[in-house]
Amino acid sequence: MRSRPALKVYIAPSPARPGDPLQVSAVLTSKRATPVSAVEFRLRCTERTTVPQDRSATVFEEQHFSLVARHEGKLLTPGEHRYGALFPLARSTPATYASDLTRIACELEVRVEIPWWVDRTGRYAVEVQPRAVVGVSAQPQLFATARRGPQGKELYAECSLDSVLLEPGGVVRGSISFSNVSATRVERVTAALSLSEVQHAGGYRRSWVQGRYDFVLHEGRVVEGEPIPFGLALPRSLPVSGRTRLVDVAWTLDIAAEGAWRTTALLSIPVTLLPPGSLPRDGVRALPPAVGRDRRRLVWTPVAAQLELTYDAAADAIRGRAGDVELAIAVEQRVRDGLFTTATLSWPPLGIALSIGPSRWSDRFTEREIDVGDAAFDARFQVRGRFAEQVRALLDAEVRAHIPAEADARIDDAGASLSVAGALADPAAITSFARAAVRLARAFDAAIRALPPPPAMRPYADAWRAYAERTRARYKPGPCAVVGGRFGVDRIDVACLWGDGAELAATVVTLHLDPTLAAAPDEAQLAEALAAVRAVRPDATLAATAEALTCSLPALTAEPATLEPLIDVVARVGRKLQGRADAAPYR
């Protein structure tokens, strides 16, 4: 008797990004012989907003795209059967967004059509994160309550920010000063980062506040004209600024002064939230003068020299490096918890899906948590990663020993942070904290250099490393990838793409187009290019944007050098699309 097969779906990468291909695969597990007429993958992106009226509401909906991939059916024998699809996401694909009134979402529907039986259908949310904006830098600006400066007895404020371009998870630093405080007593200074949603669907234009994050910039009496510095750590979950078909998303930083009897709204500063990675990570942003900085500079400068670090006066931070690990120690103010001294360690992304944070009571119900074999460490932290072997190798005894017990520690693919409450100004306290951060940076540098490849790629690591050297590329053991290699005059990447279940999704070859195309290839060009690629590798799929050609192979590649015939075809495809004179026929 026929039965509906079990369905498992894997999506990579997750989250998805506009302009990149999305690889989806379905595993059907059939207990009995079951006829299937088709397996269909459908990817939709829909935007929906509700405009409230006096006694009703009007709903507007836009579909950004609906993509379909369909496989002809067959008789499923008992066991596992795999199907897949590759969806090229347009660069205009909007990021996932949700508020009380608006929802932008991508959804994958997988339908297994069974004749004369109920179809097996699964629906899965696909998170889309925006791509980083290229070519932007910090934009410091000065704002004031009156263009001509203080007037009469009215409270006057000037506020400077190190940048009005911000990122979720970043820190905005600035300084604020007041005049005429003798006439208007100020006992508390606050800031609110406010999210406004402007609906412009169907001829309407309605603005609604959809979120607010409150900060305390200063507690106590304000001294006339004395600058007050601040550093606001922004939550990582903030939606970015932008415009979609139905709504605008905008942010303001609202400054207010509180007295004994009233609160005075002073400034509403427009700021722009950019996608993570848009602003240069190593750039030094000029900071405004700040109260307490001179005193902190006098304490922190000799501490930095003692530990062979440097004090960066412009950023009010101690900086240093241990091999590939960069170290920065600074004071920041958090939304609810006040001032913290934070040591930030940064390194090139490892590509092992690492996430480490404080342990929670719900961890016992988490299947993917990794125990490193250290009872105290496992009790203190929640540890996740793609492969337990890689995570345990990174978190060796040396690394674990140098994570201070008194610090709040968090670690991910691109770095780590250590935080202790308060702005450390005592020489002994900042010396102890900075020394621990330096030791941890050195331990992480050694552990990263010894990081093994994924277990399935361990027998082939030497071949991948040798190919990286031959092509003058960087070898990344985390995912097992060759990044920035040279193939003739072209720049290539060869990487293993891993699914959420830690299985190999594909071997991906990326050819970066330089110069880029005026527009993405059309369907006819893509079909012709795919035919050329499949003449070399019949199992290959091809996605193309104006910036790159991406070829995916649904199999493990032991020797990346064996892909060079395929890379040569992809390179010639790229040259033909660019209209270069040296393009040769490729079919």
CB 84 within 8 A of CB 51: no
Domain contains 375 = yes
**Per-residue pLDDT at 134:** 83
Domain contains 256 = yes
Domain contains 220 = yes
Instruction: Please check whether residues 116 and 148 belong to one and the same domain.
Output: no
**Per-residue pLDDT at 264:** 85
Instruction: Please check whether residues 249 and 347 belong to one and the same domain.
Output: no
**Per-residue pLDDT at 477:** 94
pTM score, whole prediction: 0.59
Instruction: Please check whether residues 468 and 322 belong to one and the same domain.
Output: no
**Per-residue pLDDT at 36:** 92
**Per-residue pLDDT at 364:** 56
Q: Looking at residue 368, which CATH number applies to its domain?
A: 3.30.1460
How many distinct structural domains can be found in the chain?
4
Instruction: Please check whether residues 284 and 298 belong to one and the same domain.
Output: no
Domain contains 133 = no
**Per-residue pLDDT at 337:** 64
Instruction: Report the alpha-carbon distance of residue 159 to residue 266 in Å, rounded.
Output: 10
Q: What is the mean pLDDT of each run of 10 residues along the chain (587 residues)?
A: 84 90 93 92 95 88 94 91 92 93 95 91 94 83 75 77 90 84 84 94 87 92 82 91 94 91 88 89 49 64 95 91 95 66 94 89 65 91 92 94 92 93 80 96 95 93 94 94 93 90 86 91 90 91 91 92 93 89 47
Instruction: Please check whether residues 87 and 153 belong to one and the same domain.
Output: no
Instruction: Please check whether residues 312 and 245 belong to one and the same domain.
Output: no
What is the arrangement of strands in the sheet containing 21-30, beginning at the earlier edge strand?
Answer: 6-12, 21-30, 79-88
Domain contains 172 = yes
Q: Looking at residue 35, which CATH number applies to its domain?
A: 2.60.40.640
Instruction: Please check whether residues 30 and 62 belong to one and the same domain.
Output: yes
Orientation angle between helical segments 427-449 and 293-306, nearest 10 degrees = 50
Domain contains 182 = yes
Comparing CA positions, the residue from 136, 159, 138 lying closest to residue 315 is 138
**Per-residue pLDDT at 289:** 33
Residue ending a domain, among 260, 288, 316, is 288
Rg, C-alpha atoms of the chain = 27
Instruction: Please check whether residues 390 and 331 belong to one and the same domain.
Output: yes
Instruction: Report the alpha-carbon distance of residue 248 to residue 547 in Å, rounded.
Output: 27
Domain contains 132 = no
Residue ending a domain, among 126, 154, 174, is 126
Residue ending a domain, among 288, 306, 341, is 288
Domain that holds residue 553: 455-578
**Per-residue pLDDT at 291:** 31
**Per-residue pLDDT at 290:** 33
Instruction: Please check whether residues 158 and 121 belong to one and the same domain.
Output: no
Instruction: Please check whether residues 400 and 442 belong to one and the same domain.
Output: yes
Question: In this structure, what are the phi and psi dihedrals at residue 446, rounded to the nearest 5 degrees?
Answer: -65, -40
Instruction: Please check whether residues 332 and 434 belong to one and the same domain.
Output: yes
Instruction: Please check whether residues 165 and 251 belong to one and the same domain.
Output: yes
